[in-house]
Amino acid sequence: MNNIPMTSNQQIKLLIFAILLAPSLFFLVGIIPALFLVFGLVMMKKNSDFSHIETSGQYFKYYFYILLAVCALFALYLATPLGAEHRWVRRADEFLASISLGGIAIFYIVILNFLFLNPLRRHSEWVVKNGIFSSKAKVVVDSSDVDIIKGERLRTFSVADELIKWAKLKDDGHITEQEFNDARKKLLQ
């Protein structure tokens, strides 16, 4: 199942994840984890290695774990009563805000797994080779189909000189006898 295209349902999950991540970008809290994910996608594409996605997902989670820990510590600090009634009311609002931010951090950790990492993991080989939103496999050009002599129509050359160059390549062991014979046939035509 790793080497089949993603279904439209799974692609929509990725889109929903991006839409749910967008509000955090406006509050500047989500810029760093979003950069982690974008960097992971770019490096996966560049190096053809899915582990970059896994690593960027881990750093995304670490960032929100740190945010969750800060919110929990702040909530614990605010939960201690100060003795004055009016101070407790103001602190209760801050306490609820801290708990809400912690809940948001947990929400982003959960949606990262269900809407981003799990669909990509199920199709990791396909995503690495062909991309996330592609439904057709990329065509790989076979190097044996490439012309032996590049640019033969672009410039003139001496057949004898070219045969000498190919013979030297064969003698030096850079090409096989078959490759030399193929080039010779092509040159003599």
* DSSP code, position 37: H
Query: Residues 37-46: pLDDT tens digits?
Result: 999 999 998 9
Identify whether 32 is part of a domain.
yes
Query: Which pLDDT score, from 0 to 100, does residue 40 have?
Result: 92
Query: Residues 48-62: pLDDT tens digits?
Result: 899 999 999 999 999
All residues at 6 or more sequence positions from 21 whose CB lies less than 8 Å from its CB, including other chains: 30, 33, 34, 108
Sign of the C-alpha dihedral, residues 4, 10, 12, 13?
negative
Identify whether 66 is part of a domain.
yes
Identify whether 1 is part of a domain.
no
Clarify whether residues 97 and 173 are in a common domain.
no
pTM here is: 0.67
Between CA 63 and CA 118 the distance in angstroms is 19
Q: The domain containing residue 174 runs over which residues?
A: 146-188
Query: Which pLDDT score, from 0 to 100, does residue 154 have?
Result: 47
Q: Total domain count for the chain?
A: 2
* DSSP code, position 145: G
**Residue 28 in tokens:** 């500047």
Is the pLDDT at 74 greater than 70? The verdict is: yes
